[in-house]
């Protein structure tokens, strides 16, 4: 049984337990919680560490965890509209943010004939993924490698690119700084990434994005970044 004594509730049916009541009333909509030792207090409705007020939600401890296959829905915001000199409104495919990641990856050089046999002093990269948009930056410094001819590819990017073969809208383009590549003529190099791949080739913007077929020397480095749309 239970009985109230002053500002306490005493429960004795299955062992003595005393709950101490708050000394003053709480606010409208609040709930009562215990500290685990019998002291009761008022708290805002919701989960510990999460408070609401004036339409806002504040997490004071812990993370917001969204179950796999779900995301944050921005459906309450206005869709994109046509900008200046454009009468056709953009098409909104999704307003759910389903992924954010920041991490590292290890890039590799591949040539037309296979994997480069260079000795790497350093190689590595970082990526950020927001929704399906992936931004990568990477660096490689090699030495003691045989001269390689043929097309050059940089592989090992963290996500496969998307696919839309009818419009090629999933292609990725990136900038690059090179040392140790035997590129002849006035051809400005860039990175060109096709669809359904986790690699990018060294290309020229003077040739419609076609790969540069000239290889790399035994010593050199590359600093590069590329942005592309992931397959998922």
What tens digit of pLDDT does each residue of 61-114 get?
Answer: 888 888 888 888 887 777 777 666 666 667 777 788 889 999 999 998 777 665
Mean per-residue pLDDT over the chain, rounded: 76
CA distances from 175 to 94, 192, 212, 225 (A): 29, 9, 14, 6
Read off the pTM.
0.67
Short-list 210, 30, 226, 74, CA closest to 139: 226
Mean pLDDT on 50-64: 73
Q: What pLDDT does 4 receive?
A: 52
pLDDT tens digit sequence for 188-222: 778 888 777 887 777 765 555 556 655 566 678 88
pLDDT at residue 48 in the model: 62
> What band does 10 get if pLDDT is binned at 50, 70 and 90?
low
pLDDT over threshold 60, residue 12: no
What does the pLDDT read at residue 111? 72
Higher pLDDT, 135 or 27: 135
Q: Across residues 37-46, what is the average pLDDT?
A: 79
pLDDT band of residue 163 (cuts 50, 70, 90) is confident
| Selected residue with higher pLDDT from 155 and 10 | 155
Q: What pLDDT, on the 0 to 100 scale, is given for residue 147?
A: 55
Q: Indicate whether 1 pLDDT > 50.
A: no
- Residue 132 pLDDT exceeds 50: yes
């Amino acid at each position: 049984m239970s009985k109230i004594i002053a500002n306490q509730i005493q429960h004795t049916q299955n062992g003595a337990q005393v709950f101490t009541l708050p000394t003053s009333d709480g606010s409208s909509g609040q709930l009562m919680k215990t500290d685990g030792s019998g002291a009761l207090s008022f708290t805002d409705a919701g989960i510990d560490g999460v408070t609401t007020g004036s339409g806002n939600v504040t997490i004071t401890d812990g993370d917001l965890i969204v179950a796999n296959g779900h995301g944050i829905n921005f459906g309450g915001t206005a869709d994109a509209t046509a900008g200046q000199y454009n009468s056709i409104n953009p098409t909104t495919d999704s307003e759910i943010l389903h992924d954010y990641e920041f991490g590292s990856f290890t890039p590799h050089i591949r040539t037309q004939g296979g994997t480069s046999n260079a000795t790497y002093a350093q190689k590595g990269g970082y990526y950020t993924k927001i929704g399906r948009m992936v931004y990568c930056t990477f660096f490689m410094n090699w030495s003691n490698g045989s001269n390689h001819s043929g097309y050059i590819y940089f592989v090992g990017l963290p996500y496969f690119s998307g696919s839309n073969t009818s419009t090629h809208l999933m292609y990725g383009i990136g900038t690059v700084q090179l040392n140790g590549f035997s590129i002849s003529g006035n051809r400005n190099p860039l990175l060109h990434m096709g669809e359904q791949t986790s690699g990018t080739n060294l290309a020229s913007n003077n040739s419609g994005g076609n790969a540069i077929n000239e290889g790399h020397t035994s010593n050199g480095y590359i600093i590069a970044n590329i942005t592309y749309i992931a397959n998922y």
